Amino acid sequence: MLVPEIITAGPVETNAYLVADSATGDAVLIDAPLDSAQWFAERITAAQYRPLALWLTHSHWDHTGDAAAICSMFGIPALIHPLDAYRLCDPNKHTVFPLPFALEPVPIGGYIHHGDVLTVGTLRFEVRHVPGHTEGSITFVEHTARVVFSGDALFAGSIGRTDLPGGDYDQLITSIRQQLLVLPDDYICYPGHMEPTTIGQERRTNPFLQSTEQ
């Protein structure tokens, strides 16, 4: 059973996750909102985990605000889909509106693509490309544990915004239908905002998805 540790942090209450294999102590961090670095440090130290990498579901600033600090703190790479990498290199240029603070550029430690399998101890995460919220939005699926980290693609009762640069409503709906709704109903979905849900719950009740079912 995989139950991630969750922190909700930053100005827009972004979820970040600490995922670990308790048998080996290997761990990864998923997304890095502002004010999450210290929490990650405390939890990793307390549990004596060995952090391997920071996985970014996409590169909007509310998911990457502490990424540079976290990568420096733990000496780990930030991994992202190549289509979303440009926002990490010059984050202050891609915030849509000016922020009352400066964002630190994030060194890109590597690229991840649709179909990749990322290993964390005995856990194996399939990467699925789900563009529409951003060009390079991705999700991470662990089939044995039956969990999916959906970033800002799919929420409880909602979907990610598509009115920002790089967004495309029709593309997002297609991505969700082809990459997420094909999963079994009991897969638990851990999103980038709000509470966890299940694929079945969203298939049955999400108002954005009812007209897309085949």
Domains of the chain: 5-212 (3.60.15.10)
pLDDT above 50: residue 214: no
Question: 0.85 exceeded by the pTM?
Answer: yes
DSSP assigned state of 82: G
In angstroms, what is the C-alpha Rg of the chain?
A: 16
165-180, pLDDT tens digit by residue? 999 999 999 999 999 9
Beta-strand ranges (E) seen in the chain are: 5-9, 14-20, 26-30, 50-55, 78-80, 108-111, 117-120, 123-129, 138-142, 147-151, 154-155, 158-159, 188-191, 197-198
Give 142's pLDDT tier (boundaries 50, 70, 90).
Answer: very high
| Residue whose entry in the numeric block shows the structure tokens 């915004």 | 161
